[in-house]
Structure 1
Amino acid sequence: MCGIVGVISTAPVNQLIYDALLLLQHRGQDAAGIVTAGPDAKGRKFFMHKARGMVRDVFRTRNMRGLPGTVGLGQVRYPTAGNAYSEEEAQPFYVNAPFGLVLVHNGNLTNAHALKQELYAVDRRHLNTDSDTEVLLNVVAHELELAARDLPLTPNEIFKAVGAVHRRIKGSYAVVCLIAGHGVLAFRDPFGIRPLCVGHNDQGGVMVASESVALEGNGFELDRDVLPGEAVFVDLDGKMQFQQCADKTSHNPCIFEYVYLARPDSVLDGISVYQARLNMGVTLAKRVVSTVPPSEIDVVIPIPESSRPSAMELAQLLGLPYREGFVKNRYVGRTFIMPGQGVRKKSVRQKLNVIGSEFKGRNVLLVDDSIVRGTTSREIVQMARDAGARKVYLASAAPPVRYPNVYGIDMPTPDELVAHNRTVDEVRESIGCDALIYQDVDAMKQAIGSLNPKLAGFDASCFDGVYVTGDITLADIARLNAGRDTSEEGEEDTSRLALPNAQLA
């Protein structure tokens, strides 16, 4: 998962982009990058700085001074493919022809391997990294060159190129591209899997970003989401033009955005993330009642932080006390994806500490947003027992994660998923809790989908194994898993979920 932003303004944009990336930091902490264009009015010179690490560490005062101009874009990254430890694979990516293009991307191309061969053999374009973003950039560059050959570059030619890009690439992609001397292009895949929205401010500026919180936190008014298959071109004067560029579209956003990935104060595709999580608490409460009588539960305790809305709603509906039983160290990373299992287990104890009085002698219901590998859950259940809990029940606001995700979330291989090919009782035994309650897939879809009936549905492939693009085979999954970053470097959690203060519940 990555966070992307593009800005056109009448004033310098370096601070705006920096602030937007801070608001999107929860979407990736592996690397960060900013590129600006200017400072001349034609915006034909690029200035770039990118490196591994958090936004606050990558950009110092000297770096910000080297990013002049009134147009630019930025990205925070976590890796789904390629080398997480390579500075070269940090975004943005740049190519000098045609015009000069810089691009940031959130998502994952499922046919990147075939495109690499095609780019080399047919398009005669050279790739220097293993990143699918470089593949995407070169496809955009090639199609833009064909569309604008011997013609002035107008929005019509740009939208024609985007249409050709849609026909060539597969998977999930939300893209922001800066075209030197012309403006900013943003577009979204035909299924709308990854989020992208656009807004404006009173000074004539325009911002596109992964989440609405990036706009609102910087004084921009949210206009709307970019539609699946749609492109928006913003010229250097801030004029926006929209065009549907895909032959066929279906609006199926990734449901894991609402379960975990997005900030609760964001609105994605017309759905409040916070309200979605409250609704998930309602349906989860019904599942709890059918498994454990509320009279056997003394207290409901969330596992920080994104499970809090669901846990609060569940506790209220069941008439049970809601308590904070874990204190999170906000300076230690999350552990959903870690470089090594040994590091993951160690980090759980580092990042959470129990308030013993909330556990001692009680039957506690722990509520988490989801359970993926189960390693963190197992350790937390043991921490509750060590604190004196009589019984430990565990409820997940999401259904069992049984399948890999191929659209830009670094879900592990099937064998690493604790629920893969296991019954709920077998998962319960693995985690060590007295009862395990999962959300129902259809109930989850209904709870979230009711907030925007216009959606065709969701990509919930990690829960139900149905890949909305309809072109994913077992061979594709095996190849994509082979491309996942599994290297280790020290004892550092570089995952996109390993974020201090990732969710501000």
Structure 2
Amino acid sequence: MSDQIKHECGIVLIRLLKPLSYYQEKYGTWRFGLNKLYLLMEKQHNRGQDGAGVASLKIDQPAGKKYLSRQRSNEGNPIQEVFSGIHKRFDNVYDHQPELLNDPIWAKENLPFAGELYLGHLRYGTFGNNSIDYVHPVMRENNWRSRNLVLAGNFNLTNVDEIFKTLIDLGQHPKDYTDTESMLENVGHFLDEENQLLFRQFKNEGYSNKEISALIERDLDVRKVLERSSRRWDGGYVIGGLIGHGDAFAMRDPWGIRPASYYANDEFVVVASERPVIQTALNIRSTEVQELKPGHALIIKKDGRVSEEMVTVPQDRKSCSFERIYFSRGSDRDIYKERKELGRLLSPVILDKIDWDLENTVFSYIPNTAETAFYGMMEGISEKLDKVKAERIMALGDDLTEEKVTEILSLEPRIEKVAIKDVKMRTFITDDSSRDDLVAHVYDVTYGIVKNQVDTLVIIDDSIVRGTTLKKSILRILDRLHPKKIIVVSSAPQIRFPDCYGIDMARLKDFCAFAGAVELLKDHGKHDVIEQVYKQCKEQQYLPKEEIVNYVKEIYKPFTDEQVSAKIAEMLKPDDIDAEVEVVYQTVDNLHKACPKDQGDWYFTGNYPTPGGNKVVNTSFINFIEGINRRAY
């Protein structure tokens, strides 16, 4: 993606099902779990660079011995900072008694992060700020082990206001107004209630307080705690949690908006945000990795029992299609195929746009994430071209000669690597004009491969959100090659509506598709549409989220997709370039064909899976009209 968009976080949960001595003997180190945690987090570093954190829990640690450890960082390289901090705890032992580092029994008794449970998190900040206090895992501590709670998640709630009010009505005094704090205290409240319920039950049966603690740890109903906690949650979420005595869980929202996968055998259980990182870290097949079902929780009891249990009733599956297009790792088998298919489905419209003039067209892509879609687009063009070649050869009839057949077969698309992404540039300059000049050099081009004022340059990007980098950088750079025309192709449809489930795209004013539609309304004298939508949004501003309708759809209704695309091209074309510019977007129908299992398309259609989505989009429109520059949830 040429526009850099911050997006959802990543989580890792590891439960070792054997004593640490088992891993020392089989794998040569009791740090097996810690090492796998590092690898799984590194393989998901694309999911969060604002912060990273790790929590570790020791099961059955004697009273008076620390059993919970946490290390977090919001520095420039947070994963490295976290694990450097963990390993520094071992340095003093290595300097004085190095043999103890290979003693799993001594390590568990004396070293932090020598435990059976690990919870890791990678953060992209979409709520709150980037201070260390907002870095997961977050903790709710208590002197009773079964009341301790550690949470880390990939989530955004649209109704933090409702949850916050509920906590206040319960008599709590939340220390912060964020979805993280709300979720932590919400789960914590019902964890306390479950503890108290069991305490009364066992007290009535005549057990001592000391006996009751062990019985609560045995019988704690994690599923019930999660079911009661999540009843009011509106949003997309995957959360991982540790409970102080040794239970653990990972839970997914009922629409399956945010992704989660897991693998379990008799040695360990691993949960991660993405399937291929589990495959890589554990060297297993994709078919061995399970998807955590929407509305379900993977619950790992202290005694090692593992179950996937329904927590909330699953809804129509609306897993995020934008995950597939851009954010998830392209090394996943299915995602790779889907991205290729997105490109292939664009080939007919591209051939029509260039009037099948392959001789005077150069095809390329914007590195690096659009490469897979580019392969698919070129495969699609080659398939169409093969049919044309066959028809032309058949049409030769009696006039068929080797020379004519060779000439027909020589017709091939011209494929070149035109744009080359340079080293990542950090912009320390605050002056806007100087900053823009620096941005214009993020990409280099390959000179001498485009015929001046003759060739059309077709270049594919995986998505065009704001169009800022296209306007300020890429189009100017491509114009240096002196093409007659530049066609920018997006493998994703037009992004028209804000996200509120974890991706940092909450402001309508940032979307070039929205800006294009508003300009078209003004061009056609339809200012009344804008005024009417604003009025409708204001009228329902304080209604319950379940009663709110997405009236922002009306902004786009008067125009075809092609009209909006043409306006976007007009707005993104810099005044100082010579080439014509055209923008082509994927269709929503083709998106569904390419990603048939992931129907979450609210970015493109405004069809939000939860009621809170309609509330967010209307608030975002109100903010746009009133000039309020803040997130709409």
Give the shorter-chain TM-score range. Answer: 0.7 to 0.9
Q: What residue in structure 1 maps to residue 607 of structure 2? A: 466
Give the C-alpha shift of residue 227 in structure 1.
0.5
Quick check: 1:110 aligned with 2:158? yes
Q: How many residues align?
A: 469
SS of 2:415's partner is coil
Per-residue Cα deviation, 1:43-73 (whole angstroms, up to 9, x for no partner): 9721111121334442353433443323111
Q: What residue in structure 2 maps to residue 193 of structure 1? A: 257
- Mapping for residues 109-188 of structure 1, pairs under 5 Å: 109-119=157-167, 121-151=168-198, 152-153=216-217, 157-188=221-252
Q: What residue in structure 2 maps to residue 321 of structure 1? A: 414
Q: What residue in structure 1 maps to residue 353 of structure 2? A: 291
2-side partners of 1:342 and 1:50: how far apart?
37
Q: Indicate conservation of the 8 Å contact 1:368/1:396, yes or no.
A: yes
Quick check: 1:401 aligned with 2:495? yes
2-side partners of 1:290 and 1:431: how far apart?
22
Q: What residue in structure 1 maps to residue 50 of structure 2? A: 30
SS of 2:300's partner is strand
Give the C-alpha shift of residue 245 in structure 1.
1.3
Give the C-alpha shift of residue 300 in structure 1.
1.4
SS of 1:128's partner is coil
1-side partners of 2:433 and 2:157: how far apart?
31
Amino acid at match of 2:149: L
Sort the Cα spacing of 1:462 and 1:177 in 2 relative to 1 into closer, same or farther, 3 A: same
Query: Structure 1 residues 89-98 or 438-447, which shifts more?
Result: 89-98
Give the C-alpha shift of residue 117 in structure 1.
2.3
Give the C-alpha shift of residue 16 in structure 1.
1.8
Give the C-alpha shift of residue 333 in structure 1.
7.5
Sort the Cα spacing of 1:18 and 1:485 in 2 relative to 1 into closer, same or farther, 3 A: farther
Q: What residue in structure 1 maps to residue 137 of structure 2? A: 92
Q: What residue in structure 2 maps to residue 51 of structure 1? A: 73
Amino acid at match of 1:168: R
Q: Indicate conservation of the 8 Å contact 2:154/2:258, yes or no.
A: yes
Question: Which of 354, 367, 373 is the equivalent residue of 1:304?
Answer: 367
Kindly indicate which of the two structures has a greater share of residues assigned to strand.
1
Amino acid at match of 1:131: T
1-side partners of 2:606 and 2:332: how far apart?
27
Q: Indicate conservation of the 8 Å contact 1:109/1:132, yes or no.
A: yes
Q: Indicate conservation of the 8 Å contact 2:419/2:444, yes or no.
A: yes
Q: What residue in structure 2 maps to residue 211 of structure 1? A: 274
Question: Which of 391, 411, 429 is the equivalent residue of 2:485?
Answer: 391
Sort the Cα spacing of 1:35 and 1:325 in 2 relative to 1 into closer, same or farther, 3 A: same
Q: Indicate conservation of the 8 Å contact 1:258/1:276, yes or no.
A: yes
1-side partners of 2:162 and 2:435: how far apart?
34
2-side partners of 1:383 and 1:17: how far apart?
41
Sort the Cα spacing of 1:275 and 1:342 in 2 relative to 1 into closer, same or farther, 3 A: farther
Sort the Cα spacing of 1:172 and 1:71 in 2 relative to 1 into closer, same or farther, 3 A: same
2-side partners of 1:105 and 1:386: how far apart?
45
Sort the Cα spacing of 1:304 and 1:333 in 2 relative to 1 into closer, same or farther, 3 A: farther
Amino acid at match of 1:109: L
Per-residue Cα deviation, 1:400-449 (whole angstroms, up to 9, x for no partner): 11111111111141112100152111101112252211100111112210
2-side partners of 1:33 and 1:289: how far apart?
49
Question: Which of 239, 246, 257 is the equivalent residue of 2:305?
Answer: 239
1-side partners of 2:77 and 2:435: how far apart?
20
1-side partners of 2:617 and 2:154: how far apart?
20
5+ unaligned residues in a row in structure 2: which ranges? 1-7, 19-29, 90-112, 199-215, 383-412, 518-563, 574-579
Aligned CA-pair RMSD: 2.8
Sort the Cα spacing of 1:285 and 1:175 in 2 relative to 1 into closer, same or farther, 3 A: same
Per-residue Cα deviation, 1:144-166 (whole angstroms, up to 9, x for no partner): 22233242245771101111123
TM-score of the superposition, structure 2-length normalised?
Answer: 0.69
Query: Structure 1 residues 470-479 or 72-81, which shifts more?
Result: 470-479
2-side partners of 1:256 and 1:343: how far apart?
33
Per-residue Cα deviation, 1:78-109 (whole angstroms, up to 9, x for no partner): 111211x3121111111114621111111210
Give the C-alpha shift of residue 193 in structure 1.
0.2
Query: Structure 1 residues 96-105 or 52-61, which shifts more?
Result: 52-61
1-side partners of 2:355 and 2:185: how far apart?
58
Kindly indicate which of the two structures has a greater share of residues assigned to helix.
2
Give the C-alpha shift of residue 224 in structure 1.
0.7
Give the C-alpha shift of residue 360 in structure 1.
5.7
Give the C-alpha shift of residue 327 in structure 1.
2.2
SS of 1:127's partner is coil
Q: What residue in structure 1 maps to residue 127 of structure 2? A: 81
Q: What residue in structure 1 maps to residue 341 of structure 2? A: 279
Q: Indicate conservation of the 8 Å contact 1:345/1:376, yes or no.
A: no
- Mapping for residues 370-381 of structure 1, pairs under 5 Å: 370-378=463-471, 379-381=473-475
Q: What residue in structure 1 maps to residue 210 of structure 2? A: none
Q: Indicate conservation of the 8 Å contact 2:254/2:315, yes or no.
A: yes
2-side partners of 1:126 and 1:392: how far apart?
57
Q: Indicate conservation of the 8 Å contact 2:507/2:630, yes or no.
A: no
Sort the Cα spacing of 1:127 and 1:425 in 2 relative to 1 into closer, same or farther, 3 A: same
Q: Indicate conservation of the 8 Å contact 1:333/1:351, yes or no.
A: no
SS of 1:227's partner is coil
Q: Indicate conservation of the 8 Å contact 2:255/2:317, yes or no.
A: yes
Query: Structure 1 residues 317-326 or 20-29, which shifts more?
Result: 317-326
Q: Indicate conservation of the 8 Å contact 2:59/2:115, yes or no.
A: yes
1-side partners of 2:264 and 2:461: how far apart?
36
SS of 1:409's partner is coil
Amino acid at match of 1:405: D
Query: Structure 1 residues 41-50 or 385-394, which shifts more?
Result: 41-50
SS of 2:345's partner is helix
2-side partners of 1:45 and 1:347: how far apart?
50
SS of 1:218's partner is helix
Query: Structure 1 residues 420-429 or 358-367, which shifts more?
Result: 358-367
Query: Structure 1 residues 35-44 or 349-358, which shifts more?
Result: 35-44
Per-residue Cα deviation, 1:157-181 (whole angstroms, up to 9, x for no partner): 1101111123121111101001112
2-side partners of 1:260 and 1:61: how far apart?
31
Query: Structure 1 residues 190-199 or 159-168, which shifts more?
Result: 159-168
Q: What residue in structure 2 maps to residue 20 of structure 1? A: 40
Query: Structure 1 residues 428-437 or 52-61, which shifts more?
Result: 52-61
5+ unaligned residues in a row in structure 1: which ranges? 450-454, 487-505
Sort the Cα spacing of 1:34 and 1:475 in 2 relative to 1 into closer, same or farther, 3 A: closer
- Mapping for residues 476-491 of structure 1, pairs under 5 Å: 478=619
2-side partners of 1:200 and 1:344: how far apart?
49
Sort the Cα spacing of 1:259 and 1:385 in 2 relative to 1 into closer, same or farther, 3 A: same
Sort the Cα spacing of 1:484 and 1:205 in 2 relative to 1 into closer, same or farther, 3 A: farther
Q: What residue in structure 1 maps to residue 86 of structure 2? A: 63
Amino acid at match of 2:470: S
Q: Indicate conservation of the 8 Å contact 2:363/2:458, yes or no.
A: yes
2-side partners of 1:333 and 1:228: how far apart?
39
2-side partners of 1:212 and 1:333: how far apart?
31
Query: Structure 1 residues 64-73 or 29-38, which shifts more?
Result: 64-73
Sort the Cα spacing of 1:351 and 1:180 in 2 relative to 1 into closer, same or farther, 3 A: farther
Sort the Cα spacing of 1:415 and 1:58 in 2 relative to 1 into closer, same or farther, 3 A: same
Query: Structure 1 residues 122-131 or 157-166, which shifts more?
Result: 122-131
Question: Which of 581, 585, 590 is the equivalent residue of 1:438?
Answer: 585
Q: What residue in structure 2 maps to residue 491 of structure 1? A: none
Per-residue Cα deviation, 1:300-327 (whole angstroms, up to 9, x for no partner): 1111122111111112322323322222
